[in-house]
Amino acid sequence: KNEVEQSPQNLTAQEGEFITINCSYSVGISALHWLQQHPGGGIVSLFMLSSGKKKHGRLIATINIQEKHSSLHITASHPRDSAVYICAAPPLKGNEKLTFGTGTRLTIIP
């Protein structure tokens, strides 16, 4: 069992739909990262959170530390949101050794 698991693995939705991607982790963490990876490979950091909720534009990330669960939501989805979304968790102490989920491939159809 992976220490960080995401669901779903693939998600296809119509433009405008509300999107939810889930991340569960089994290790103690200091923070949880949500990342976006486009087909070219480059990774962009979207959020880093250790409690509660963060919002940036149409993106919202929430985390429940007790339940070891985080969600990434996209409101009013758009084709340009199509990408792979990855959650990653560093250890509770120490370095930036991020443990990554396998990613959720999101496709938004116009």
Partner 1 sequence: DAGVTQSPTHLIKTRGQHVTLRCSPISGHKSVSWYQQVLGQGPQFIFQYYEKEERGRGNFPDRFSARQFPNYSSELNVNALLLGDSALYLCASSLATGGWQPQHFGDGTRLSIL
Residues engaged in binding partner 1 (CB under 8 A):
4, 29-31, 33, 35, 40-45, 48, 50, 86, 88-103
User: Which residues sit opposite 62 in a β-bridge?
Assistant: 53, 71
Tell me the pairing of strands 4-7 and 19-25: antiparallel
Helices (H) and strands (E) in the chain, counts: 0, 11
Query: 3-state class of 79 per DSSP?
Result: helix
Q: Nearest distance from residue 52's CB to partner 1, in Å?
A: 15
Q: Nearest distance from residue 54's CB to partner 1, in Å?
A: 12
Query: 3-state class of 80 per DSSP?
Result: helix
Q: Closer to partner 1 by CB, 81 or 90: give it.
A: 90
Q: Closer to partner 1 by CB, 74 or 88: give it.
A: 88
CA-to-CA separations, 12 to 26, 42, 71, in angstroms, rounded = 27, 21, 17
Q: Nearest distance from residue 15's CB to partner 1, in Å?
A: 26
Q: Nearest distance from residue 42's CB to partner 1, in Å?
A: 4
Q: Closer to partner 1 by CB, 6 or 77: give it.
A: 6
